[in-house]
Amino acid sequence: MIDFEPSQSATAQRQAVHALAQSAMRPIAREYDEREHERPWDFIRVMWELARQMDAERGRRGEEAGLRRERTLSLVMTAEELAWGDAGLFICAPGPGLGGVAITAAGTPEQQKRFLGRFREGEPKWGAMAITEAHCGSDTAAIRTTAARDGDDWVLNGTKIFCTGGQMAAEHPGGFVVVWATVDKSAGRAGIKPFIVEAGTPGMKVLKVEDKLGIRASDTATLVFEDCRVPLSNILGDPEVTLEPAGFKGVMATFDASRPLVAAMAIGVGRAALDYLRDLLKEKGIPIRYGVAPTRLTALERDFMDMEADLHAARLLAWRAAWMIDQGLRNNLEASMAKAKAGLAAARITQKVVELLGPLGYSRDHPAEKWMRDAKINDIFEGTQQINMLIVARRILDYSSRELS
């Protein structure tokens, strides 16, 4: 039986995170949207301390079986609330990030302890993942960054673009970037392996930081690797090239774990826009009349209810994908469905809210235009809308990538 009813603990945590989003994120959201390349250090330290406290609390409670069974679902609910506060600030908060997701999905217990355990101590740290290259976006099998074994090291060479949080992960002590590279170009997908490159490693440098449309409080970096040496133990998974593309499957496993979180982020942004529209309409004496026959509803009410239904549908898909992770079930289809639905819903909802608000929606004196800009990235990163729809079609029709591309 599928039961999405959160426990009292998860519900209390969600309420606490919502209060944090309202008090610590909303007041500075516009400021750091305008000041894209400045980091909100006061907010970062608050989030770092909060994460450490929550981790310590889990340790004291021994993470009971009930908590373990809703770990990912709880993360998804938290992600929605923080994105409701501000998507850019949420992404710039310290933590292992997508790099941590990759290590959890493909790393050994020793690697997980070594690299993820550091996020419980010291100063704020970041993790990031570097996949995309200038010549290949969604076609990750076409990666050209190379990793060659030389004695006790792997030597990486190549350039990665659009690395979310890449600057913070590469430049701040204790951070790391998980870099996907090929150890054998002739092997195709089977030759692709993930490598952990720690912050400050010689040969890894930040070439540029993007000026972006949305999520501007976070950094998106281009990273260059020039004869960058990492220890042999920093590879995730089996270094051998076999017919079974284990490294590439690690990429996909990472996405299966991260896409529900990205979906939740989209839902948070869409919900922020809907909440704002509802409150503004209420101030003007225009309530949304539920329970009224469809023929008696205004066009505005029908639009609002359609957007609300879209948001609820996306949330249920995201929760199901997260629930499946907690149950140890493969969620490849469900993760892509959630990501595709939520990204599209958030983009449509925020654009419609701007449209319905008219000049107020287009004005930078109101946050609606910012939410429209922030929402679109959810339709692009972690697999574009088109790629996720393709994955859904392949899984439903039982086609391989060669048969349906």
Strand partners, 164: 220
How far apart CA 197 and CA 175 sit, in angstroms, is: 9
Closest to 197 (Cα-Cα) out of 222, 216, 170, 237: 170
How far apart CA 180 and CA 41 sit, in angstroms, is: 30
Q: What is the DSSP pairing of strand 176-182 with strand 204-209?
A: unpaired
Q: Are 326 and 72 in contact (CB under 8 A)?
A: yes
Q: Would residue 382 show up in a list of annotated catalytic residues for this protein?
A: yes
Strand partners, 210: none
Q: What are phi and psi of 373, to 5 degrees?
A: -70, -40
Residue that is written with structure tokens 């319905």 in the block: 356
The conformation of residue 126, written as its DSSP 8-state character, comes to B
Which entry of 63, 369, 382, 403 is annotated as an active-site residue?
382
How is 140-195 classified by DSSP, letter by letter?
Answer: GGG---EEEEETTEEEEEEEEEEEETHHHHHHSTT-EEEEEEES-GGGGGGGEEEE
Q: What are phi and psi of 192, to 5 degrees?
A: -85, 125
Catalytic positions, please? 382
